[in-house]
């Protein structure tokens, strides 16, 4: 039996779902993978809970929080004001699950958590894009020096297996280009415009009413979310050190119904794509609306669905789509990375 002691930083919806998933699948993980996942510390904005025995009582802790309690007020094992860095220094663990809110200005506090954990030789499973987008080179170099793994499925389109396919299924092939519909909100808006001939504003409003789009949809509709995911995928698959400024970004805010209809007349459909193309030793990164022919494998990906397509030198084109876009889907991606990190399938070491 392989035991993996976990520290979780951040306890929003997807992280609550992931801790519940770990508890619910405990017997399955032990029987199928010989893997025992033990949550030994949990950090949230107000403090932490640290296990006194082998692991935290996940179900009781979840119930406490769902009833309006906080992590730091959980009976006997709560510690008000304790930071993630302090917990990482104090508690012996194998894996940090970094799930604090994404900060694309400074990357904090996620960056500090990741660097502290890597200093101790821990593996990192991250749902937080911020530190990896802004400080990939620094984090990658320290991970290699400490022989630690960086796993980020939940940060690269969650349940859609982007990195898994590129790193494992395409092993031995050279990836020539990557094209992805990596943001469900923009794809939903463009699909509504194409299928129902509604304006951008009306399609956005519908997405907001359904909870698909945020009240401030800038991160999605201006292409930044797609850029961030593309950066992470390209850095891993092309072994690069690309930064946000290396990506040409155009969002969908300028797309009109006339544009949609003009593309339709030509037999095309407009999609927001994240594209990485390798030409000799150069990799060109771009995010922007593209008019795709109906024969293109991404042309039929509609509404909030996501997909990624790889063009390779020996396997041809490989396209995958789907994956649950929800806290449960993100939780499943975190769990997948925990399983893979235990068997070193995707380790940087």
- Domain assignment present for residue 135? The answer is yes
| Residue 295 tokens, joined | 């024969």
Sheet holding 282-293, edge to edge: 247-249, 282-293, 268-279, 175-181, 307-312, 317-321
- Domain assignment present for residue 348? The answer is no
Distance CA 85, CA 77 (A): 18
Distance CA 62, CA 55 (A): 14
For residue 214, give the CATH number of its domain.
Answer: 3.30.360.10
Q: Whole domain around residue 253: which residue ranges?
A: 162-321
112 and 127 in a single domain? The answer is yes
Distance CA 71, CA 190 (A): 41
- Which of 334, 187, 214 is closest to 273 using CA atoms? 187
Q: Where does residue 142 rank: exposed (0-12), middle (13-18), buried (19+ CB within 10 A)?
A: middle
Helices (H), the chain: 13-24, 26-33, 58-66, 84-90, 110-119, 129-134, 136-146, 162-164, 184-196, 200-209, 218-221, 224-237, 257-265, 327-343
- Domain assignment present for residue 349? The answer is no
Structural domain count of the chain: 2
Q: Which of 129, 229, 271, 336 is catalytic?
A: 229
Give pLDDT < 50 ranges for the chain. Answer: 345-349
Q: Over the chain, what is the mean pLDDT?
A: 93
Helix, strand or coil for residue 48? strand
- pLDDT of 12 reads 83
Residues 62, 66, 69, 72, CA torsion sign: positive
- Domain assignment present for residue 257? The answer is yes
Residues 251, 256, 261, 262, CA torsion sign: negative
335 and 193 in a single domain? The answer is no
- Domain assignment present for residue 177? The answer is yes
222 and 132 in a single domain? The answer is no
Task: Name 177's bridge partners.
Answer: 277, 311
86 and 175 in a single domain? The answer is no
228 and 338 in a single domain? The answer is no
- pLDDT of 344 reads 55
| Residue 73 tokens, joined | 């007020």
67 and 152 in a single domain? The answer is yes
- Which of 306, 285, 302 is closest to 294 using CA atoms? 302
- pLDDT of 29 reads 95
Our answer to whether residue 229 is catalytic in this structure is yes
């Amino acid at each position: 039996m392989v035991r993996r002691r976990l520290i979780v930083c951040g306890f929003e919806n997807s992280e609550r779902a992931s801790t519940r998933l770990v508890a619910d699948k405990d017997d399955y993980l032990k029987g199928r993978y010989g893997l025992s996942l033990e949550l030994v510390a949990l950090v949230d904005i107000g403090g932490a809970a640290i296990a006194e025995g082998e692991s935290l009582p996940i179900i009781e802790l979840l119930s406490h929080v769902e009833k309006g309690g906080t992590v730091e007020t959980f009976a006997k094992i709560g510690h008000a004001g304790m930071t993630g860095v302090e917990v990482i220094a104090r508690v012996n663990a194998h894996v940090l699950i970094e799930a604090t809110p994404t900060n694309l200005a400074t990357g904090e506090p996620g960056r500090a958590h990741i660097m502290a954990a890597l200093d101790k030789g821990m593996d990192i499973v991250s749902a937080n894009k911020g530190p990896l987008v802004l400080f990939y080179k620094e984090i990658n170099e320290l991970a290699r020096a400490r022989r630690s793994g960086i796993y980020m499925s939940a940060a690269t389109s969650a349940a859609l297996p982007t990195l898994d396919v590129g790193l494992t299924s395409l092993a031995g092939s050279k990836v020539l280009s990557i094209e992805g519909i990596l943001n469900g909100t923009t794809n939903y808006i463009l699909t509504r415009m194409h299928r129902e001939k509604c304006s951008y504003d009306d399609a956005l409003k519908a997405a907001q009413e359904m909870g698909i789009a945020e009240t401030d949809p800038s991160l999605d509709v201006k292409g930044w979310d797609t850029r961030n995911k593309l950066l992470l995928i390209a850095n891993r698959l092309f072994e690069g050190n690309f930064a946000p400024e290396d990506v040409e970004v155009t969002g969908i805010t300028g797309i009109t119904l006339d544009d949609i209809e003009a593309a339709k007349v030509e037999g095309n459909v407009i999609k927001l794509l994240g594209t990485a193309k390798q030409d000799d030793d150069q990799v060109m990164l771009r995010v922007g609306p593209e008019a795709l022919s109906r024969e293109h494998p991404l042309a039929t990906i509609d509404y909030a669905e996501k997909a990624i397509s790889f063009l390779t030198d020996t396997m041809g084109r490989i396209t995958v789509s789907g994956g649950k876009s929800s806290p449960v889907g993100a939780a499943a991606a975190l769990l997948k990375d925990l399983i893979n990190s235990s068997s070193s399938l995707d380790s940087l070491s």
